[in-house]
Amino acid sequence: MTGTTGHPCPESGLWTTTHGGCREQIALSKTNIFPPCPHCRGAATWVLTQKTQKY
């Protein structure tokens, strides 16, 4: 499952992005908006690495 910067998160969990030498991981709840990369602030494609419960 994937998501991109500026779009709503489809599933609560840990999400990872790897692009342009960056490797970042965030926790995001369902319906929150995907942020840009925390390292370079560029648009990112996020991949779900672990599902979690929404809190």
Three-state secondary structure along 9-31?
A: CCCCEEEEEEECCEEEEEEECCC
pLDDT value at residue 21: 84
Each residue's pLDDT, cut to its tens digit, for the chain (55 residues) gives 999 999 999 999 999 998 778 899 999 999 999 999 988 899 999 999 999 976 5
- pTM for the structure as a whole: 0.87
7-28: string of b/e by CB count within 10 Å (b at 16+)? eebeebbebebeeeeeebebeb
pLDDT value at residue 55: 55
pLDDT value at residue 54: 60
pLDDT value at residue 20: 79
